[in-house]
Amino acid sequence: MVLDHAPIETPPRAPSPIHRFGTLAVHVGSEHDPVSGAVIEPISLSTTFAQSAVGQPIGAHEYVRSSNPNRWNFERCIASLERAKYALAFSSGSATTATILQSLAAGSHVVSVSDVYGGTHRYFTKVASAHGVRVAFTPSIELDIEGLITPETKLIWIETPSNPTLSLVDIRAVADIAHRSGIMVVVDNTFLSPYIQNPLEHGADIVVHSVTKYINGHSDVLMGVAAFNSDALHERLRFLQNAIGAVPSPFDCWLAHRGVKTLHLRAREASKNAQMVTNALEESPHVLAVNYPGSASHRQRKIALKQHRDGLGGGMLSFRIKGGKEAAEKFCQATQIFTLAESLGGVESLVEVPASMTHMGIPKDQREAAGVFEDLVRISCGIEDGTDLVADVRQALEKVVVGPKITNGFANGSRHT
Ligand SMILES: Cc1ncc(COP(=O)(O)O)c(C=O)c1O
């Protein structure tokens, strides 16, 4: 099944919810069990569901890949949080991306921001091309989009904030141009979570998440989700969800659903901590530049104020350290609370060097054109005490510049992992 080539209409918005984010996060999809009265939903491990007559299932489900109670409840919750009519869950953020790309006909053309997650870049350049979908990248999509659109362009792919330079895209500006030519806009909202940004409200047609990050929030589930309003998209993507079968297990859906119930608390705390760490980095003589959309100094702060809840910046930031690649790597080894690891969005703070880790697969010239230099350090602020995080960043900066020689990745043997 492929997406229509006819221009799409901007789909109708889902009805406004009566309740606010925290109430929706805790209650949507979490009704009491009608049989036992259990307040927390049971994990439904059954792969198949009884039928009363041929083709007449007793309940809403037939076979676990097509649908199951835990996935269904999680999807309903995410749809409500993204102000969408529908959500579909997948086995990873990457499987979500792949399923959307596979919905395009061979010969389709996609325009993407250059500064995307490394795995998304890998899929666009090494997998999508194998089934005849070409992707053009641009570092400044609001300026370039009109020139890059061809008659074959079917999709615009945006990450805002981008990974790892935290650049922002004005979703409404891009969507207005794309919709004039019947092109769909997809926004990867992983970095902010639905608490801070709802891209469908700004004109996007599909919002995607690596649930692995903020939505689950506890670094123990790999999962993805897409949310949207169009009935036609729902039919196509649901068909592919079942046909490709890249679906999450009931247990993972249950865990991620539990995780999302505290998303609003975690997102606020992580944003507060990221702002504190940004302030400390901006004051430091050892830092060249800081990228944080919550900061007044961010060059696109106006977009953050327009698109983000209360202008919040989220828990992610990156900075360029004085001393190049060596200093960046040493910094990541010298922190004691921040763990040197890939990924983001968990309750624990992480630090990494994108050029040598998450974005290593992108050719150096393209990577640097997008601002991903070897001295760039990416930080995911967790929900520890902000004062402790600031102290940790300060001591690590001092160590990198004047500190002891680190030989085995463990400064003073006192790393907490
Ligand atoms: C912004 C972004 N999108 C998508 C993905 C892919 O998600 P997953 O690892 O769940 O496949 C990631 C993973 O880091 C990401 O950071």
pLDDT for residue 118: 87
Ligand 1 pocket (Cβ < 6 Å) reads 92-94, 117, 119-120, 159, 163, 188, 190-191, 210, 212, 222, 224
In a domain, 8, yes or no: no
Give the list of residues 6+ apart from residue 180 with CB closer than 8 angstroms, or none: none
* Dist CA 318 CA 298 (whole Å): 12
For residue 13, is pLDDT > 60?
no
State the total domains in the chain: 2
Active site residue 258: no
- Judge whether 175 and 144 are in contact, CB under 8 Å: no
- Judge whether 254 and 271 are in contact, CB under 8 Å: no
For residue 410, is pLDDT > 50?
no
Pocket test for ligand 1, best of 188, 213, 221 (most atoms within 8 A of CB): 213
| Residue 161 preceded by cis peptide, ω within 30 | yes
Same domain, 310 and 236: no
Same domain, 238 and 295: no
Active site residue 238: no
In a domain, 241, yes or no: yes
pLDDT for residue 361: 82
Same domain, 248 and 350: no
pLDDT for residue 324: 95
Domain final residue, candidates 203, 232, 260: 260
Region 13-34 average pLDDT: 83
For residue 416, is pLDDT > 70?
no
For residue 228, is pLDDT > 80?
yes
CATH code, domain carrying 396: 3.90.1150.10
In a domain, 15, yes or no: no
CATH code, domain carrying 129: 3.40.640.10
Active site residue 86: no
Query: Using 50, 70 and 90 to split pLDDT, how confident is the model at 359?
Result: confident
Same domain, 369 and 308: yes
| Residue 34 preceded by cis peptide, ω within 30 | no
Q: Tokens 């989700």 sit at which residue?
A: 225
Domain final residue, candidates 245, 260, 275: 260
Query: Using 50, 70 and 90 to split pLDDT, how confident is the model at 6?
Result: very low
Report the candidate in 332, 378, 335 with the shortest Cα–Cα distance to residue 354. Answer: 378
Same domain, 87 and 167: yes
Please give the model's pTM, rounded to 2 decimal places: 0.92
- Judge whether 24 and 80 are in contact, CB under 8 Å: yes
β-strand partners of 317:
379
pLDDT for residue 398: 95
Same domain, 289 and 211: no
User: Can you give the residue range of the structural domain that contains 162?
Assistant: 21-260
Pocket test for ligand 1, best of 116, 159, 166, 190 (most atoms within 8 A of CB): 190
Region 261-280 average pLDDT: 98
Query: Using 50, 70 and 90 to split pLDDT, how confident is the model at 3?
Result: very low
For residue 292, is pLDDT > 60?
yes
What is the helix (H) or strand (E) element at residue 210, kind and residue range?
A: strand 206-210
The rounded mean pLDDT for the chain is 92
User: What ligand 1 atom has the least distance to the C-alpha of 222?
Assistant: 10
Region 101-117 average pLDDT: 95
